[in-house]
């Protein structure tokens, strides 16, 4: 049988209720017994004080303690349990024997010499009270003369009335605990069901996602931790759905990008095989060019996959930003000259070193320059710069061109795989669409950020057609 969470919670709650009830019952019973004992002692002393006044009258009336034993006889006192409030002695009301029996009070009367002359249970007659007992007793004064001492000692709560009282308290305690425990369990079940219901919903949703339904979402019904968990679950489901869409789109894009060069290679080879095309250096060179493009695309895809999975190894070392910029410009000058575009570098003289992989950062700059050259007409310029803003934790590099610019609607997608701002461009003239995606992954692998801006607004406020791509690299 499956151990449901609600059963575990109810079991733990029941155990807490039982332990709490036992602790409360033990403490309450002990407190009740002690309180009843203190009440009996105080009431006994009060009753004994009233009895001492009657005994004083008795001695003043008789002149001695003769016959007082009948007055304190346990049988006489215990015989008055019919609910009468007292007994008549010498024309006066004597304190009720029912109260003395209820309090299990032991009475001893000693004469002026301390000898016990009467006892409520007929024990200890003739013995003498100790000085401590005499001091603890109630003196019986007759006309300023101490005729005797009354000693009242409560013998605990062992009487029948006391036992009946404690039994009634225990019964009421058990009943109240049963009622309170039942109510607590019902309320606990409702509470735990409310807690576990969102978890059960997320469990079912997770099962549907595992079976391929990535559009499954759970309803957020609260703003507490369970609500945060539900929102996190929905974010995870959204991420999985987007990842699946990207995977499918990637497969479609790769198939589309590979189809063109493979079709060209196949057509050329079939033409050569059928004798339609000559087998010469020109045709072989064309095949080599297509295979080079395919190999570069496969390598770019491998690099993207490693970077996105966080498995791209970087040789991080302190690097001078100026060295990176001038080296990238030097590598791309021959290509720029062929296109009639000027590539210039304007970094400040002094910049802090950044922590990066030199080869990968050169690759980032080269990809950005190549992208700018592709969309900058002859006579244009591509400018590389770097700054270190005071509020920044890294050096900010920028590559700015005076090319055709990017439509603002397309700007958010320039770092997506296989994206081309100009849809009319072919793979040969517009690139594979992986260059800027690789730039984004390499920059983020260094702990930096990349962004694009187009068109560019110079200082005079007039828009200038062109694109600026900036990225930051943390300082060493």
- Provide CATH code, domain 225-308: 1.10.287.130
* Whole-angstrom distance, CA of residue 405 vs CA of residue 419: 15
How far is residue 466 from each of residues 337, 376, 391, 456, 461, measured CA to CA in Å? 19, 8, 27, 6, 14
Phi, then psi, of 83 in degrees rounded to 5? 100, 0
Helix (H, G, I), strand (E, B) or coil at 106: strand
Overall average pLDDT of the 328-352 stretch: 91
Percent of the chain with pLDDT over 90: 23
* Residue 454: band (very low, low, confident or very high) from pLDDT cuts 50, 70, 90: confident
pLDDT at 76: 43
Burial grade of 14 (CB within 10 A; 0-12, 13-18, 19 or more)? middle
* Whole-angstrom distance, CA of residue 139 vs CA of residue 151: 9
pLDDT tens digits along 240-279: 888 888 778 777 777 877 787 788 888 888 888 888 888 8
Token pair for 138: 């109630």
Higher pLDDT, 223 or 344: 344
Neighbours of 43 (CB within 10 A): 16
**Is 60 exceeded by the pLDDT of residue 75?**
no
DSSP 8-state assignment for residue 456: B
How far is residue 33 from each of residues 27, 36, 103, 131, measured CA to CA in Å? 10, 5, 13, 30
Phi, then psi, of 405 in degrees rounded to 5? 80, 180
Least confident of 89-98, 110-119, 212-221, 222-231: 89-98
Burial grade of 375 (CB within 10 A; 0-12, 13-18, 19 or more)? buried
pLDDT tens digits along 126-151: 888 888 988 888 999 998 889 999 88
Higher pLDDT, 75 or 236: 236
Higher pLDDT, 425 or 282: 282
Do residues 347 and 327 lie in contact, with contact meaning Cβ atoms separated by under 8 Å?
Answer: no
What pTM, to 2 d.p., does this model score? 0.52
Token pair for 56: 């004083």
pLDDT at 170: 85
pLDDT at 151: 87
Overall average pLDDT of the 83-101 stretch: 43
| Mean pLDDT (the chain, rounded) | 82
* Residue 78: band (very low, low, confident or very high) from pLDDT cuts 50, 70, 90: very low
Higher pLDDT, 248 or 316: 316
DSSP 8-state assignment for residue 403: S
Residues 6+ apart with CB under 8 A from 387: 348, 351, 395, 396, 398
* Whole-angstrom distance, CA of residue 336 vs CA of residue 119: 128
Residues 6+ apart with CB under 8 A from 114: 128, 129, 134, 149
Least confident of 51-55, 244-248, 345-349: 244-248
The ranges assigned to domains in the chain are 5-161, 225-308, 317-474
- Provide CATH code, domain 317-474: 3.30.565.10
Do residues 133 and 119 lie in contact, with contact meaning Cβ atoms separated by under 8 Å?
Answer: no
**Is 50 exceeded by the pLDDT of residue 289?**
yes
Closest C-alpha to 119, from 83, 158, 81, 150: 150
Measured in Å, how far apart are the chain's first and last C-alpha atoms?
59
- Provide CATH code, domain 5-161: 3.30.450
Least confident of 17-31, 173-187, 409-423: 409-423
* Whole-angstrom distance, CA of residue 188 vs CA of residue 176: 18
Integer-rounded Cα Rg, in Å, for the chain is 51
Residues 6+ apart with CB under 8 A from 414: 406, 421, 436, 452
Distance of CA 431 to the CA centre of its chain: 49
* Residue 7: band (very low, low, confident or very high) from pLDDT cuts 50, 70, 90: confident
Overall average pLDDT of the 290-317 stretch: 84
Neighbours of 149 (CB within 10 A): 22
pLDDT at 94: 45
**Is 90 exceeded by the pLDDT of residue 99?**
no
Listing DSSP states for 232-295 in one string gives HHHHHHHHHHHHHHHHHHHHHHHHHHHHHHHHHHHHHHHHHHHTSS--SHHHHHHHHHHHHHHH
> Same topology for domains 225-308 and 317-474, yes or no?
no
Token pair for 180: 């309170």
pLDDT at 427: 47
pLDDT tens digits along 398-444: 999 999 888 888 888 888 877 765 554 444 444 567 889 899 999 99
Helix (H, G, I), strand (E, B) or coil at 458: coil
* Residue 356: band (very low, low, confident or very high) from pLDDT cuts 50, 70, 90: very high
């Amino acid at each position: 049988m499956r151990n449901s969470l609600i059963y575990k919670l109810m079991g733990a709650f029941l155990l807490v209720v039982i332990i709490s009830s036992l602790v409360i019952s033990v403490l309450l019973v002990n407190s009740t017994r002690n309180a009843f004992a203190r009440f009996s002692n105080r009431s006994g002393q009060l009753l004994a004080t009233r009895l001492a006044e009657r005994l004083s009258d008795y001695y003043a009336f008789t002149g001695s303690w003769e016959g007082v034993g009948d007055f304190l006889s346990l049988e006489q006192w215990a015989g008055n349990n019919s609910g009468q409030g007292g007994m008549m002695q010498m024309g006066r009301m004597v304190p009720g024997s029912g109260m003395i029996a209820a309090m299990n009070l032991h009475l001893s009367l000693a004469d002026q010499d301390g000898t016990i002359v009467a006892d409520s249970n007929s024990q200890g007659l003739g013995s003498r009270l100790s000085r401590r007992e005499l001091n603890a007793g109630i003196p019986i004064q007759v006309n300023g003369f101490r005729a005797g001492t009354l000693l009242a000692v409560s013998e605990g709560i062992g009487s029948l009335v006391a036992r009946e009282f404690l039994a009634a308290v225990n019964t009421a305690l058990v009943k109240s605990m049963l009622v309170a425990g039942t109510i607590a369990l019902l309320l606990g079940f409702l509470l735990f069901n409310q807690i576990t219901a969102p978890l059960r919903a997320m469990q079912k949703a997770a099962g549907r996602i595992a079976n391929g339904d990535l559009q499954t979402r759970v309803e957020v019904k609260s703003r507490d931790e369970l609500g945060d968990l539900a929102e996190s679950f929905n974010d995870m489901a959204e991420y999985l759905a987007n990842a699946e869409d990207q995977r499918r789109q990637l497969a479609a894009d790769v198939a589309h990008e590979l189809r063109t060069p493979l079709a060209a290679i196949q057509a050329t080879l079939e033409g050569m095989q059928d004798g339609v095309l000559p087998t010469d250096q020109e045709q072989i060179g064309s095949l080599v060019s297509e295979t080079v493009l395919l190999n570069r695309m496969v390598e770019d895809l491998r690099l993207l996959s490693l970077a996105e999975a966080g498995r791209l190894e970087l040789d991080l070392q302190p690097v001078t930003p100026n060295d990176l910029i001038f080296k990238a410009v030097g590598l791309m000058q021959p290509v720029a000259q062929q296109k009639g575009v000027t590539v210039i570098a304007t970094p400040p003289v002094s910049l802090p070193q950044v922590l990066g992989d030199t080869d990968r950062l050169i690759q980032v700059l080269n990809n950005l320059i190549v992208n700018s050259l592709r969309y900058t007409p002859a006579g244009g310029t591509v400018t590389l710069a770097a700054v270190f803003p005071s509020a920044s934790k890294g050096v900010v590099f920028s590559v700015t061109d005076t090319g055709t610019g990017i439509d603002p609607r397309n700007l958010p997608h320039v770092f997506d795989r296989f994206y081309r701002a100009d849809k009319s461009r072919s793979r040969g003239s517009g690139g594979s669409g992986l260059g800027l995606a690789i730039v984004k992954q390499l920059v983020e692998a260094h702990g930096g950020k990349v962004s694009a801006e187009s068109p560019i607004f110079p200082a005079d406020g007039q828009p200038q057609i062109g694109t600026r791509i900036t990225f930051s690299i943390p300082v060493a």
